[in-house]
């Protein structure tokens, strides 16, 4: 194994994905990310001729969901009128947790039986992919076309001041890409076996029923909210939202919390609360599902407060997904599955700018202790990203999907 420390005044070698990944991992950047990790990425991109725009959004107090978030948009302009291809991702990471066999922010390469692995928080989600993006564009000449990076420090957090703020910034600048690739870790068993051409939407809904607190021996003087909440949840749980579509699995509604703040055995509580989460396909919208739940809650005498995290999107199979498939097959021999499974990502916002597809590393260790990426996969992903970018920049029609 070998150990790594943050460089001190040494020239960056931006076309080396392993070195890039180690530099980024060594910058502690638990969400919301700010400061050093963006300093590092800015230096990498500036060395490659990118104009870098960094800004901070959100001004709430530390320790709240309104903590300031740093974002970065970097662009290297090609000839006037040339296609514009964007890479997107995040440099914030989830908290490392306990039980690591080495320091989560002390990147380490270990010689394993299956090949060398790079360990560290963010190795696959998703500093490793960003390292490959940087290495990929290092070998693409500026005259090939316009390239940009859309990088947030708030994907793993509330996502309030991250990619949505970047989109506002890009629109104000007039820098709208024709195509965008998000480097989320989409591969399942081996690099290249899956890309994401869409994602389901997400809405969380908080339910509340207010009753009247009282003594259990005098129920006529109280109003127990729990039977009402049980009735609401039973009706919601029985809903069949749909049977799925050609590209999406069925929508599902899950009860994720049911709480009655009552520590006394002889008291009828005065309030019951619950929360549900719905992941939904493109047969629905966040608003339509919220209205359905609100109507059911109100019918029984309760209330519902929805928070829509994102709407479903689909980039239908076509020229863009074929570009990625061709690049993957050229480097790995695999024809990747086009999928819409999994959770949400910042692609749910970026789809409002241009066609967007997600493709990246193997996701087996993301968010786990001892998160690790195969060193060989970093080299292969760099080659894939380079092929995709060159294909996009050489496309005759700028707004391919």
Look at the domain 201-310 and name its fold.
Alpha-Beta Plaits (3.30.70)
Q: Looking at residues 47-59, what average pLDDT do you find? A: 92
Q: Looking at residues 339-364, what average pLDDT do you find? A: 95
Residue range 204-216, pLDDT digits in tens: 999 999 999 999 9
67 labelled as ligand-binding?
A: no
- What is the model's pLDDT at position 4? 44
pLDDT exceeds 70 at position 12:
no
Q: Tokens at residue 193, please?
A: 């076996």
pLDDT exceeds 50 at position 68:
yes
Q: Tokens at residue 207, please?
A: 């339910």
125 labelled as ligand-binding?
A: yes
Residue 14: pLDDT band by 50, 70, 90 thresholds? confident
- What is the model's pLDDT at position 114? 87
- 155 catalytic? Reply is yes
Of the candidates 155, 175, 282, 371, the residue annotated as catalytic is: 155
CA-to-CA dists, residue 88 to 26, 113, 128, 179, 254, angstroms: 20, 33, 13, 11, 30
Residue 142 neighbours by CB under 8 Å, 6+ apart: 49, 76, 77, 78
- What is the model's pLDDT at position 7? 45
Q: Looking at residues 183-198, what average pLDDT do you find? A: 98
CATH 3.40.630.10 in the chain: give the residue spans. 2-199+312-393
Q: Looking at residues 36-51, what average pLDDT do you find? A: 96
- What is the model's pLDDT at position 59? 64
Q: What totals of helices (H) and strands (E) does the chain contain, helices first? A: 9, 20
Of the candidates 92, 178, 358, 377, the residue annotated as catalytic is: 92
The yes/no answer on whether domain 2-199+312-393 falls in CATH 3.60.40.10 is no
Q: Looking at residues 233-244, what average pLDDT do you find? A: 98
Query: Cα separation of 281 and 275, whole Å?
Result: 20
Of the chain, the percentage scoring pLDDT greater than 70 comes to: 93
Mean of all residue pLDDT scores within the chain: 93
CATH 3.30.70.360 in the chain: give the residue spans. 201-310
161 labelled as ligand-binding?
A: no
Residue range 135-145, pLDDT digits in tens: 999 999 999 99
Residue 159: pLDDT band by 50, 70, 90 thresholds? confident
- What is the model's pLDDT at position 197? 98
- What is the model's pLDDT at position 395? 86
Q: pTM, whole model, 2 decimals? A: 0.89
- 92 catalytic? Reply is yes
Residue range 314-346, pLDDT digits in tens: 999 999 999 999 999 999 999 999 999 988 899
Residue-wise burial string across 317-343, b where 16 or more C-beta atoms lie within 10 A, e elsewhere? eeebbebbbebbeebbeeebbbbbebe
Q: Looking at residues 259-263, what average pLDDT do you find? A: 92
- What is the model's pLDDT at position 401? 54
- What is the model's pLDDT at position 10? 44
Instruction: Please provide residue 41's backbone torsions phi and psi, each rounded to the nearest 5 degrees.
Output: -65, -40
- What is the model's pLDDT at position 237? 98
């Amino acid at each position: 194994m070998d150990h790594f420390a943050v460089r001190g005044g040494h020239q960056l070698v931006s076309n080396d994905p392993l070195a890039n990944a180690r530099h980024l991992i060594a910058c502690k950047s638990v969400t919301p990310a700010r400061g050093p990790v963006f300093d590092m990425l800015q230096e990498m991109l500036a060395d490659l001729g990118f104009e870098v725009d960094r800004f901070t959004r959100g001004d709430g107090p530390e320790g709240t969901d309104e903590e300031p978030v740093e974002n970065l948009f970097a662009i290297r302009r090609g000839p006037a009128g040339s296609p514009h291809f964007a890479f997107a991702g995040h440099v914030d990471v989830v908290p490392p947790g306990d039980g690591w066999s080495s320091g989560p922010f002390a990147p380490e390469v270990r010689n394993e039986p299956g090949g060398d692995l790079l360990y560290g928080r963010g190795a696959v989600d998703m500093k490793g992919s960003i390292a490959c993006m940087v290495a990929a564009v290092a070998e693409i000449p500026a005259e090939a076309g316009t390239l940009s990076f859309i990088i947030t420090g708030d994907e793993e957090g509330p996502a309030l001041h991250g990619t949505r703020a970047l989109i506002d910034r890009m629109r104000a600048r007039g820098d709208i890409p024709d195509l965008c690739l998000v480097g989320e870790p989409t591969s399942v068993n081996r690099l290249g076996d899956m890309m994401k051409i869409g994602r389901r939407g997400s809405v969380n809904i908080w339910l509340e029923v207010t009753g009247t607190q009282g003594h259990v021996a005098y129920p006529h003087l109280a109003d127990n909210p729990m039977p009402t909440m049980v009735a609401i949840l039973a009706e919601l749980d029985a809903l069949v939202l749909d049977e799925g579509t050609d590209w999406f699995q069925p929508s599902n509604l899950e009860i994720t919390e049911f709480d009655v703040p009552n520590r006394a055995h002889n008291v009828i509580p005065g309030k019951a609360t619950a929360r549900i989460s719905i992941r939904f396909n493109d047969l629905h919208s966040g608003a339509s599902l919220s209205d359905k739940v609100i109507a059911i809650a109100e019918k029984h005498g309760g209330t519902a407060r929805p928070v829509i995290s994102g709407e479903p999107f689909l980039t239908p199979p076509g020229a863009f997904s074929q570009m990625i498939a061709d690049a993957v097959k050229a480097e790995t021999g695999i024809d990747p599955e086009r999928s819409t499974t999994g959770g949400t990502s910042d692609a749910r916002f970026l789809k409002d700018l241009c066609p967007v597809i997600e493709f990246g590393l193997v996701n087996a260790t993301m968010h786990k202790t001892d998160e690790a990426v195969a060193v060989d996969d970093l080299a292969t992903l760099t080659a894939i990203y380079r092929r995709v970018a060159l294909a996009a920049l050489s496309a005759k029609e700028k707004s391919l999907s």
